[in-house]
Structure 1
Amino acid sequence: MNSTDLPPPENETPIQLVDGTGEADGTDQASKLVRCQEIIEYQFNDPSLLHSALTHASGAVHRLASNERLEFLGDAILGLTVCHWLYEEYPEYNEGDLTRIKSAVVSRRSCGKAAVELGLDRCLIVGRGVTRNRSFPRSLVSDVFESVIAAMYLDGGDEVVRVRLKKWLRREVEHAVETQGSSNFKSSLQQYAQREMSSTPVYRLVRESGPDHRKSFLIAAVIADRQFTAAWGSNKKDAEQHAASNALAELRGQPLPFPEQE
């Protein structure tokens, strides 16, 4: 992982771990493999790959039998898959925007959140000491997310991984686009409007000001029948970006970044 761990929010879903003995809730290692394949909607041709992916170092016979090597590979596969996804779906974003979005999507918190929502935490094969002492690091669940990705890749190829990541991380990508791709407000507004309002923004020229060689443009974003606060720009492109930023602020109940001035 490239990003650092962050303290979990108070309302974050708690991690549920059970050891592989079956004593806690009847969940032995074989049952965990079955459960995990149901969760990820993929049946392994080589179940030993999944077994390795789910085995934490505390539950492994030796270090190389744990999921650490698969985690290493899964980190790279996750990054490449998300980069390809963003490159294809967001052609209007520059390299800096894409980098910020990708970093947010593949962070430990995002991967850990996805793992817990799927239920991969309950599929982990860990030693008794981990479940008894509850002293495990939260990064443990983001690690298994990556190791399972690597196992699927080795067993079924990149398309198997791509389809599932687009399903599991869709909300994380959309949120990151809105919050991290802020240098392109028009794109962020379009994503928001299409998802939340089933409409596409248009931009209306309200008026122009100044001589021909130094014109300013006042433009407003319009979604459906709602016109948002207009914003000035020294050219139409900048004015549209500012108008989109105002619209996003209004939709989120935030102060206007570009208040209209006479």
Structure 2
Amino acid sequence: MILNEKIIKVESKIGYTFNNKCYLLEAITHKSCTVDCGYDYERLEFLGDAVLQLYVSQFLYRNENLDQGQLTVIRSQMVSRKTLTKVIERLDFEECFIVGKSVRDEEGKIKGSFLGDFFESILAAIYLDSDLQKVYKFLRKIYKINGDLIIDEDYKSKLQEILLKTTKKLPKYDTIQNDEYYESTVQLNEDVFRGIGNSKKEAEQIAAKNAIEALI
């Protein structure tokens, strides 16, 4: 794949067309190729990490009525390398990154957490090419589509199992969609447990998780 094709494919996958293609080119270039081109993604990754942390922190502060410790746990899940790597894999443009042979495994796939690093460098490239609002628009779409990646455990099934053993009843979820997120509640006796997420599934999983934590 020639360089221009790589740029076009990445822009198509992320839904953003760069005014200055140099930002994107830098964002998708690993330092193993620095000798060939003279630049790499690492400085952009540094900036992109801060932009991502700010967006997720603001989102959780405005939409989750949780204490600092709980907010920190959810944020760490949303910005983890595991989550970001899976997002890039779903966007399906791994072959567009400019990397040396040492960065790829025997099957030709990029090793370790590098895909997550590239996600952050692309965020920074969008920010420098436009503004913070464009980055936030991109991230809202990303987390809405990939919200299921944040929840590693199936808390709904666990809650159902607990209730069937103790009350012989199934949990019932009430989920509504707002402009930027989904809100779900599950009621156990007189107590109502709430979850906020970027998808219906994610919101219900978080509500179930909060209910389980109260029961244990």
**Fold similarity call, TM over 0.5:** yes
How far the C-alpha of 1:170 sits from its partner, in A, is 2.8
What corresponds to 1:158 in structure 2?
132
- TM-score w.r.t. length of structure 1: 0.58
The yes-or-no answer on 1:114 pairing with 2:80 is no
Give the partner amino acid of 1:240: D
After the TM superposition, list the runs of 4 or more consecutive aligned residues in structure 1 that deviate by more than 3 angstroms.
128-136, 171-179, 198-202, 254-259
> In structure 2, what is the Cα distance between the partners aligned to 1:175 and 1:118?
13
How far the C-alpha of 1:41 sits from its partner, in A, is 0.9
Name stretches of at least 5 consecutive residues in structure 2 with no aligned partner. 154-172, 195-203
Instruction: Return the structure number with greater helix share.
Output: 2
How far the C-alpha of 1:151 sits from its partner, in A, is 0.3
How far the C-alpha of 1:28 sits from its partner, in A, is 1.5
How far the C-alpha of 1:199 sits from its partner, in A, is 9.1
The equivalences for 1:137-216 within 5 A come to: 137-170=111-144, 176=150, 193-194=174-175, 201=185
> In structure 1, what is the Cα distance between the partners aligned to 2:105 and 2:213?
51
> In structure 2, what is the Cα distance between the partners aligned to 1:176 and 1:129?
30
> In structure 2, what is the Cα distance between the partners aligned to 1:140 and 1:95?
29
How far the C-alpha of 1:132 sits from its partner, in A, is 7.4
- The structure-2 alpha-carbon separation of the partners of 1:175 and 1:148, relative to structure 1 and needing over 3 Å to count, comes to closer
- TM-score w.r.t. length of structure 2: 0.69
The two structures, once aligned, show a CA RMSD in angstroms of 3.7
The yes-or-no answer on 1:29 pairing with 2:3 is yes
What corresponds to 1:74 in structure 2?
48
How far the C-alpha of 1:175 sits from its partner, in A, is 6.6
The yes-or-no answer on 1:85 pairing with 2:59 is yes
Identity, in percent, stands at 31
Does the CA contact (< 8 Å) of 1:101 and 1:177 recur in 2? no
How far the C-alpha of 1:201 sits from its partner, in A, is 4.6
Name stretches of at least 5 consecutive residues in structure 1 with no aligned partner. 1-26, 180-191, 203-220, 222-227, 231-238
> In structure 2, what is the Cα distance between the partners aligned to 1:256 and 1:157?
40
Secondary structure in structure 2 of the residue aligned to 1:65 = coil
Per-residue Cα deviation, 1:59-108 (whole angstroms, up to 9, x for no partner): 22269601011111111111111111111222x22222111110110000
